[in-house]
Structure 1
Amino acid sequence: MTAQKSVSEIMNTVIVKIDGNKSSEDAAMKMRAANTSSLIVVDSVGIPIGIITERDLVGRVIANDADSRRIMVKDIMASPVVTIDPRSSVESAADLMLQNSVHHLLVVENEDLSAVLGVVTTTDFANYLEGV
């Protein structure tokens, strides 16, 4: 039997942030530029307050034929963020995602949102499972 992996071993350490007062158009452009499907939404002092994903943009802006320049990120983001410690097991992270019906977890130490270490997504789990 293989040793249990921790969240820190599968998390993505590239963290792309956006201010909650930016437009959903800004979010889409930032996602494209960073080649990512989600952004960490931060308040005016840089503390994470939510997550916005391509799915949010499609479901809440495009599908409603809304003006992406007028829809603010803070109005369509998923919030509050769900966090996990980097030493937690991959299995614990999966359980936490299921319990909270989320697809992204912020990895932080001691629940300190001012220092995000990474993000764990369902894609990270898929990649992990391919290697098992």
Structure 2
Amino acid sequence: MHAIELATTRVVTMRPEDSLHHGAQLMQKHLVGCVVVARPDESGPIPVGVLTDRDLCRVGLAGGADVEKITVEAVMSRPLVTCPQEATLAEVIGIMRGSGLRRLPVVESQGRLVGIISANDVIVAITQLLQQLTEVLVIEPSLRDHLVALEYARDISEDAAMGGDAP
């Protein structure tokens, strides 16, 4: 399973020069906890930072900032940590764990934004893999009966070899 398969490809973006207020409005409108700050490029947006709901609270609300005048670039989370689209689930977890981030922009080889992965996306993927593993490990009843019979036969053979009475 690769990052691009886990990622949400509909990513809310904004420009670095946009206001904090605009970022808050985007989060509210799209019901998301972060907006990827990106500079436009003819081949697709290039991420330069992330504005999170936590950034808004820390700087905008708790700091008493004028959210209309402060740009996103002034408060966005830095340094930007991204995830290559071909990263495996284990690599995504490693990046999140190593950076302490719960959301990662996913980029293709040229650095263009192709999606975003949240910690919730990772949890869903792990849950699906565990479900698949559980399905593989569940033994069919007929096979289980066969295994019980083999175990019983082995026990009888061991008892007989040790001089015990077979039932």
TM-score above 0.5, yes or no: yes
Higher relative helix content: 2
Q: Which structure's relative contact order is higher, taking Cα pairs within 8 Å and 6+ residues apart?
A: 1
Q: Does 1:128 align with 2:125?
A: yes
Q: Which of these residues, 19, 25, 28, is aligned with residue 21 of structure 2?
A: 25
> Which residue of 1 is the match for residue 146 of structure 2?
none
Given residue 3 of structure 2, which amino acid in structure 1 is its aligned partner?
A: V
Q: Which of these residues, 35, 38, 44, is aligned with residue 39 of structure 1?
A: 35
Deviations 1:53-109 (CA, angstroms, capped at 9, x unpaired): 111101111112222112210011012322222222111111111212222222122
Alignment of 1:11-90 (within 5 A): 11-43=7-39, 45=41, 46-90=45-89
Whole-angstrom CA distance in 1 between matches of 2:34 and 2:23: 9
Whole-angstrom CA distance in 2 between matches of 1:44 and 1:129: 34
**1:92–1:79 distance in 2 versus 1, CA, 3 Å:** same
Given residue 117 of structure 2, which amino acid in structure 1 is its aligned partner?
A: V
- The DSSP-based 3-state class of the residue aligned with 2:49 is strand
Identity rate, percent: 24
Rg comparison, structure with higher value? 2
Query: Normalized against structure 1, the TM-score is what?
Result: 0.84
Offset at 1:44?
A: 5.7
Q: Structure 1: state its 5+ residue gaps.
A: none
Between stretches 27-36 and 38-47, larger displacement belongs to 38-47
CA RMSD of aligned residues (A): 1.7
> Which residue of 2 is the match for residue 7 of structure 1?
3
- The DSSP-based 3-state class of the residue aligned with 2:37 is strand
- The DSSP-based 3-state class of the residue aligned with 1:64 is coil
Query: Normalized against structure 2, the TM-score is what?
Result: 0.68
Q: Structure 2: state its 5+ residue gaps.
A: 131-167
Contact 2:46 2:113 (C-alpha < 8 Å) held by counterparts? no
Deviations 1:8-65 (CA, angstroms, capped at 9, x unpaired): 2211111111111111111000111122111111236542110001111011111122
